[in-house]
Amino acid sequence: MKNSKIKSRKLHKIIGLMLVLPMLGWTFTGLVFFIKPGYQGAYEQLSVKQYPLSQPISLTPQDNWQKLSVVKTVLGDHLLVQANNKSEHLNLNSLLAMPEPTTSEFKALLNDAFTHNQARYGDIVSTDGLTAKTSTGVKVTLNWKNLTLSQQGQDTQLINLLYQVHYLQWTPYKELNQVLGILGLILLISLTILGVRLYFKQRA
């Protein structure tokens, strides 16, 4: 009985030491996730600015269109359709694929979208295709087919890193991270069971 208690205490200490770093990570990141500082800006849904249509649109949908919408931006009118379960961005008059915007058009679209939160996005300092970087360190990408924007700043990257720490995604390998996660849970459950067992043994 005594030897069993000693072994349980020793095992409890070993598992506890193994979980020092994960427990510190879980505690710190859990506190951040509870308070959520900076989440609003980091995960802000940046959208292309839309305007009311200047005139009614007469359009006959094609048979393979499951969904369509007509929107007006600073660049003009856009026809967005869902055809054969794929997104398409078409010219409203010719119904042909709308060519991607030029650099100046891309900048105009982004600057128009930035007006609602200029403090976060600042000015465009560089572009690479349909991706732009701003003076505030935010990277903005345009999905032309859906006419949607996504943004990621340094704060977004930091919070994403905290999620990786919290879920034990400590390596660049998905399979290894899954093993670490499962192992962490097993050790945590074992630590709890051993602790409860030692508690009742001491009271016996």
Residues 50 and 136 in one domain: yes
Which tens digits make up the pLDDT trace of 86-107?
999 999 888 899 999 999 999 9
Q: Give the pLDDT band (50/70/90) at residue 121.
A: very high
Q: Give the pLDDT band (50/70/90) at residue 114.
A: very high
Q: Of 131, 153, 175, which residue constitutes the final position of a domain?
A: 153
Residues 78 and 26 in one domain: no
pLDDT at 66 exceeding the cut of 70: yes
Q: Of 153, 170, 185, which residue constitutes the final position of a domain?
A: 153
Query: What does the pLDDT read at residue 2?
Result: 55
pLDDT at 108 exceeding the cut of 90: yes
Q: Give the pLDDT band (50/70/90) at residue 63.
A: confident
Total of domains in the chain = 2
Greater pLDDT, 200 or 174: 174
Residues 72 and 169 in one domain: no
Residues 50 and 110 in one domain: yes
Query: What does the pLDDT read at residue 3?
Result: 60
Residues 110 and 24 in one domain: no
Query: What does the pLDDT read at residue 157?
Result: 75
Amino acid at 52: P
Query: What does the pLDDT read at residue 98?
Result: 94
Query: What does the pLDDT read at residue 204?
Result: 60
Query: What does the pLDDT read at residue 130?
Result: 97
Residues 128 and 167 in one domain: no
Phi, psi of 65 (to 5 degrees): -85, 120
Residues 91 and 53 in one domain: yes
Residues 185 and 134 in one domain: no
Q: From CA 124, how far away is CA 24, in angstroms rounded?
A: 39
Q: What pTM was computed for the model?
A: 0.65
Q: Could you list the residue range(s) of the whole structural domain that residue 90 is in?
A: 45-153
Query: What does the pLDDT read at residue 155?
Result: 76
Residues 53 and 143 in one domain: yes
pLDDT at 75 exceeding the cut of 70: yes
Residues 96 and 6 in one domain: no
Sequence-distant (6+) residues with CB within 8 A of 152 are 138, 139
Residues 22 and 90 in one domain: no
Alpha helix segments (H runs only) across the chain: 2-18, 20-35, 39-42, 103-114, 118-121, 154-166, 174-203
Residues 112 and 52 in one domain: yes
Q: From CA 84, how far away is CA 87, in angstroms rounded?
A: 8
